[in-house]
Every structure is written in C-alpha cells, then in structure tokens.
Amino acid sequence: MKVLVVNCGSSSVKYTLFEMENEKKIAWGLVECVGLPEAYYKRQAINAKEKKDSLKITSHIKAVELIIEDLLDKETGSIANINEIAVVGHRIVHGSDKFSESVLLTEEVKKELKECFSIAPLHNPANYDGILAVEKMLPKIPSVLVFDTAFHQTMPDYAYMYAIPYEYYEKDHIRRYGFHGTSHNYVSQRAASILGKPLSELKLITAHLGNGSSITAIDKGKVIDTSMGFTPLPGVVMGTRCGDIDPAIIYYILNKYPQYKDGDNLNTLMNKKSGLLGISGLSADVRTIVKATETGNKKAKLAFEMLCYSVKKYISAYYGILNGIDGLVFTAGIGENSASIRELICKNLHALGIEIDINKNNITSNEERFISTQESKVKVMIIPTNEELMIARESKLCLLSAEKV
Ligand code: AMP
C-alpha cells in the first residue's frame, strides 16, 4: 500500500510518498513560495538525485498538479498509475475540540474543519486549500486528516482550562490544545519500543525542540499536560516566539506604544520577533546562537540560557505531575542535534534521577540512542521525529478501519 502525505502551508506544499509494506519513503519534495515570483519545486525520489526548478506556481492546485505529474512521470516517476495511492494523509494544525483523532474526509468533516478556521487563522485555511487541491487532482482517492492537536485531547480539564471567565471556553473554545501532537505521539511510541515496555506501563516526558518547541507529559500513553496552549505561542523560549510571559505585558505594551494598537503588530512581535531572535538581536537559529556564545556575545549567551532554563522548568514540573518518569526524550532540530542545549537542560537534575553521559551526548548521529549514564534512573533518549511517517500510519489505519465498517 502506498500513502501520500501532504503538508500544506500558506505558501508551501510538502509531500512524501510512502510504501507502507516497509514504511520507506519513495518520493518526497516541496513546492515553496506558491503565488510568488520566486516559486520553486524541489523533489527527490529514492535512489535518484535531487531536482530543483524555478517555476510559475500560482496556486496550491497548481502545486499539487505538478507533484502528481512528477510522481507519474514515465521516466523518473515513482508510480505508474494514480490508483496506486491508497490514501492521502493531510497534516492539519488545529482540530479544536471537535477532532480528538484522525478522520476520513467527508463533506461533514470539511464543514466542521471550516468551523475551526477562526481558531487557527494562519494555518487551517492553508491546510484546507491543500485538501481542496488534492480533491480536485485525485477525486477518487480517499483522504485522511491527521491533527497536530489530537494527541493532546486526553488532557484533564484542570490542565487544559485557563482561569479566565468560563464563558470564553463555552463561547469561544478558549482552552489549552497543544501542538506537535504527531511528533510527541511518534517519539513516545518509539521510546516504548526502545525501552522494551508497553506504553501503558511508562511515564514519559517528550521534548520537541525545534523552531517551535513543546514539552509533553505522557502517562501510560496519554497526554496529561503540554507546554503549548490555545496557540503555539506559550511554553518554552523558541526561535522567534516568546513562550510564557506575564499576559499583562501585552496590555502594557498595547497601551504604551501606538503601533501595537493594531493587534496584528502585537501578534508579530510575540510570534516573529521574540524568543532567541528577540533576546539575542542576532538569530532564531540555535547554531548561530551557540557560535556567538563561544565568541563572548552576552545576549546570545542569555538567550541560550533562557531557552535551557525554560525547558528545565517544564521537565521538572512534569516530573512532579507524573510523580516520576521512566524516560525523557529529546527530538526535532535542536533536540536531536544540539549537544550543548541538551547538556545545559539536564545539568543538575540529579535530584530527579536524570544523569546524562557527556561523551554519549556529544556524539553526532541520526540514530535513535541513549545519552543517559548507566546509573541514571531516568533513561534519556534522542529519538529523531518522523511526523510524515506517523501521518502515513494514521492514514492507513483510518482507511483500513473505515473499510471494515
Ligand atoms: P525544526 O523546526 O525541527 O526543523 O528545527 C529547526 C532548528 O533546529 C533550527 O532553527 C536550529 O536552531 C536547530 N538545528 C538544526 N540543526 C542543528 C544542529 N546541527 N545543531 C544545532 N541546532 C540545530
């Protein structure tokens, strides 16, 4: 069975075609800058060289058309017939409290998804455009929607509610949702496999540290709490997002600086100009921050330390909430690659039974691996995330269970 995974952003379409017999990628790529003069299409198939072309790509439909044509190309394509694709899996950022699991696309589901636009205006309409484009190009192939928020739907109400008047929850669905659910789900399943125990017997903290970062507390495979909230803005310090701040700061800035009377500017300040970039004034990229730290840049050092401190705080809080943990997982761009960030996060966490082996931590590798010492009570692991594969698995499962009915 082949599954096509599509991740449609406001100006991009990413895709991966999987052969599910062995769960291997057979073709993948992305169309960037849709609707802009600098649009390009970059793709690769297994055992072939990467290709990149600058092209006029005016819409998501055009982008999907291009991808399908390429997959079907007689000489370089990966499939001979479009019907080889059993199902298309779509990454959807926000499922609100309507979607607690992946669903097969129907007209009713489309309607419900549209009702979630206002809750994630930057992401959900773009995801929806992707659905329409795939529907137009592949009308006979079923689609499954996989939500970034779904894995977190097991949180208890006292963890997901905000202490603002209850009516805003009832009227506007304002509550914690959490994001990166597909990634936290994937790495927790891999952690159980690596630890040789069922998820139902494990307590885990998963740290997805990338451009956006979130920490999740998982008890017996169920999310108990997660650091992102109603939006992906709160939680730990991120590349350009501020993470947790005193909400009254927003009110203060809004009243003091006229340019922030426009909510969009304030949103940009918190989402695009804060975090590592805002503190260092230099970059949102951890690699640049670490280099600058080494040459004595004080603001870069502060940004680095703030990030590590904020992650450490969440790990410690979730350790308490879970009453101890079996495993701590690092994943995503920073979690998988930045030894110095992992080292500072785990420093002086002996009281929690977290001890990492500095030599193991410093090894560069793409493999799943332990970085804790032999004596460490908590097993600390690096597990490369694979959100696309998780979406492909979910889509296959959803299709098979719908066929059974
Ligand atoms: P992601 O959002 O998961 O793609 O992560 C992107 C972030 O990971 C980048 O902005 C970098 O800060 C970080 N990153 C990627 N590669 C490395 C690396 N080799 N060392 C340190 N940080 C890295």
Q: Three-state SS for 206?
A: strand
Q: pTM higher than 0.85, yes or no?
A: yes
Tokens of 313: 């705080």
- DSSP β-bridge partners for residue 381: 329, 370
What atom of ligand 1 comes closest to residue 288's alpha carbon? 12
Out of 287, 331, 341, 386, mutate this one to test ligand 1's pocket (max ligand atoms within 8 Å of CB): namely 287
Q: What topology is assigned to 2-147 in CATH?
A: Nucleotidyltransferase; domain 5 (3.30.420)
- DSSP β-bridge partners for residue 31: 13, 41
Where exactly are the structural domains of the chain? 2-147, 196-387
What atom of ligand 1 comes closest to residue 332's alpha carbon? 3
Name the DSSP class of 262: S
Q: Three-state SS for 381?
A: strand
Distance from Cα 178 to the centre of ligand 1, integer Å: 21
pLDDT in tens, 302-361: 999 999 999 999 999 999 999 999 999 999 999 999 999 999 999 999 999 999 999 999
At position 402, the amino acid (one-letter code) is A
pLDDT in tens, 27-81: 999 999 999 999 999 999 998 899 999 999 999 999 999 999 999 998 889 999 9
Q: What topology is assigned to 196-387 in CATH?
A: Nucleotidyltransferase; domain 5 (3.30.420)
Neighbours of 228 (CB within 10 A): 28
Confidence check: pLDDT of 279 > 90: yes
Amino acid 403: pLDDT: 84
Q: Three-state SS for 32?
A: strand
Matching CATH topology for 2-147 and 196-387? Answer: yes
Q: Which residues line ligand 1 (CB under 6 A)?
A: 210-211, 239, 285-287, 332-334, 337-338
Tokens of 275: 């975090």
Supply the mean pLDDT for the chain.
Answer: 96
| Active site residue ranges | 148
pLDDT in tens, 156-212: 999 999 999 999 999 999 999 999 999 999 999 999 999 999 999 999 999 999 999
Tokens of 169: 């929850």
Distance from Cα 285 to the centre of ligand 1, integer Å: 7
